[in-house]
Chain A
Amino acid sequence: QQQVKQSPQSLIVQKGGISIINCAYENTAFDYFPWYQQFPGKGPALLIAIRPDVSEKKEGRFTISFNKSAKQFSLHIMDSQPGDSATYFCAASFQGGSEKLVFGKGTKLTVNP
């Protein structure tokens, strides 16, 4: 119940295309869903986050879509750029607890020029 399942494991997209990464969770107590971006040799960095009271959140080219009934959420990267090539992690947490994050296993995104 603590798991967050992420797919695909890897993704190759052409420059200008849309990258879509999906995550699913079981524990309905999760109430905070961030996405982290990690470049080689660096730690993960917060990209965008959503709470279950909204169905979509957009920040620039990055959009999170959230489906509470299906217990799924996804990251959409519009107009993907080679600089977006990185590993993306979805995560989930409870606000009321220790605030530890449970991470998906990551998606390695490659955007070809």
Chain B
Amino acid sequence: DSGVTQTPKHLITATGQRVTLRCSPRSGDLSVYWYQQSLDQGLQFLIQYYNGEERAKGNILERFSAQQFPDLHSELNLSSLELGDSALYFCASSPRNSLRTGGYTFGSGTRLTVV
């Protein structure tokens, strides 16, 4: 157990629907990162939050949004889902200045299947 909890583990939904993925970071970690992993694109950075504030944005579609709550858990909202959104979605967390102290810790991911 990495300490980063992602729910649900699996999600099957229809095109056009909206889903919410949840991530609870390791205790004490202030940063949360969301990544999308697909076979052809690898791990793509979507968005980062630090202590409730958006810190960096990557290749995140306008149909996707995220937030980090006061208790530091984060949610990734995916709407108007398309078949191409089927992927593994990972959350990672890190303490402040993580790259000096050991980097990210990833959760086990949510596998999203859009049918």
Contact = CB atoms under 8 A, between A and B. Distances in A.
B103 A34 contact: yes
Contact of A99 (B41, B43, B94): B94
A44 B109 CA distance: 10
Given A100-B33, A100-B45, A46 B102 contact: yes
A93 B44 CA distance: 13
Contacts of A36: 106
Contact of A101 (B41, B55, B97, B104): B104
Interface stretch (A61-69, A77-85, A103-111): A103-111
A44 B90 contact: yes
Interface in B97-115: 97-100, 102-109
Interface of B: 2, 4, 31, 33, 35, 41-45, 48, 50, 55-56, 58, 90, 92, 94, 97-100, 102-109
Given A98-B48, A103-B45, 10 more contacts: A43-B106, A44-B106, A45-B2, A89-B42, A97-B56, A99-B31, A101-B33, A101-B103, A103-B44, A105-B42
